[in-house]
Amino acid sequence: MTHTSMEPTFDRSVLCDRLEAAWARSDRIFDLLEPAALYERPIALRQPFIFYVGHLPAFGWNQVIGGLLDRAGPQPELDQLFARGIDPVGVDAYQGREQWPSVAETLAYRDRVRDALRATFDEVEERVGQDPLADHGRVYHLVIEHELMHHETLLYMMQQLDRRLLRRPADLPAYRSDGASAPGQARVPAGEVRLGAAFDDVPFGWDNEFPGVTADVPAFAIDTTPVRNGEWLEFLDAGGYERADLWTSEGWVWRERTGHRHPVFWKRAGAEWRYLTLFDELPLSDVRDWPAYVSWAEADAYTRWQGAELPTEAQFHRAAEGIPWGDPSAGNYHFQQWAPEPAGRNARGASRFGVRDLVGNGWEWTRTVFAPFPGFTAWARTYPGYSAVFFDGEHYVILGASWATDQALVRPTFRNWFQPRYPYVFAKFRCVRPV
């Protein structure tokens, strides 16, 4: 991969402002937790919240100062402990509250790293034209977007907490229950789509976004809105969780082993179902038109029940043609609602084929296994495993955005991925059929 065709730039003011804004939102999100909650671990595959207080600055240090500038820090043991978001090196020794660094120590580490990062702009700018990490301030984009992605991770972790451990914001928007568009199907004609981008054509992208490919997509039919909670209730009442024929073998084993019998965002309360938002429990009847947030395994079972399939990555992009990516007025993302809204409510987010909510109101599961585009290169030498360690055939691509996705991540080339039996993500789905 070459890095010569686009003139490298470095807008210090913009990068600095974006970094400070990301830190400010991190602080606001952590402030949603009661102090005792910092040592809670509501999802077994994630670490306690105190880990993430340290992980976000540690990533910045390890990318910019330890990575690009090649300098050791004064607390290398914390740089290492907080380095990885899942299964960090040495984490087995840090299982109890008394074994993790104290809140005061972790916050002092965070503040020291932030001050150190603020002082790096001159040195990084000197490397523009010599290092792709410095060109366009890419190393800062790595740090900023990593922080933005973890905002969503933290929030879906918080959604699994006892509500008494959360502080409800005074400015929380009112929930929306009206305005859903009618369910339907759209016929999408055959056409060509572009997946990803050329490295030299954009100032920043993660390694899996490059080098970009084109794909021919045959005609297909797709739901104009995602599957809603009310439709999911029909699947549940029809015995969808009890029919092994609807599930992959791995999905059925998971369902049996875990006792998973309903979406993780649902709760049985006597004779009725309740829906769990970040701060409240709502009657499911009030949010029947909200999209159903489920795991890939559940979504796949539903599509089989319907005699359909999940879309491929290429079908998603073909159906999304004409959507104004990155415009929050056209979709429920960038923390506008702090919850889903009725499916298809925002007509401005419709594609040229009339498909709504592909971008916003929840990520969208696809049936495409997460894999590199031909010619893939892990271009960031400071983070070579960002995508590569997940090219294992065990993760599926999800696209679009949820209400908790920052606007900066809402671009056509951005690819997200999760394991099929991970039920906590703010992810919806829809059905496709051949025509």
- Contacts of 302 by beta carbon, 8 Å cutoff, 6+ apart: 227, 232, 235, 240, 246, 294, 429, 431
Domains and CATH numbers, the chain: 12-165 (1.20.120.450), 185-434 (3.90.1580.10)
pTM of the model: 0.94
Residue-level pLDDT at 371 = 98
Residue-level pLDDT at 48 = 95
How far apart are alpha carbons 138 and 140 in whole angstroms?
Answer: 5
- Contacts of 371 by beta carbon, 8 Å cutoff, 6+ apart: 391, 393
How far apart are alpha carbons 364 and 371 in whole angstroms?
Answer: 17
pLDDT tens for the 435 residues of the chain, in order: 444 456 778 999 999 999 999 999 999 999 999 999 999 999 998 999 999 999 999 999 999 999 999 999 889 999 999 997 554 334 444 455 557 999 999 999 999 999 999 999 999 999 999 999 999 999 999 999 999 999 999 999 999 999 999 999 999 999 999 999 999 999 999 999 999 999 999 999 999 999 999 999 999 999 999 999 999 999 999 999 999 999 999 999 999 999 999 999 999 999 999 999 999 999 999 999 999 999 999 999 999 999 999 999 999 999 999 999 999 999 999 999 999 999 999 999 999 999 999 999 999 999 999 999 999 999 999 999 999 999 999 999 999 999 999 999 999 999 999 999 999 999 999 999 999
Residue-level pLDDT at 13 = 95
284 touches 233 (CB < 8 A):
yes
Residue-level pLDDT at 1 = 43
Which residue carries 């790293």 as its tokens? Answer: 113
Residue-level pLDDT at 2 = 42
Q: Report how far apart, in Å, the C-alpha atoms of 186 and of each of 301, 345, 430 are.
A: 22, 17, 12
Give the alpha-carbon dihedral of 226, 393, 326, 135, to 10 degrees. 180
How far apart are alpha carbons 23 and 106 in whole angstroms?
Answer: 15
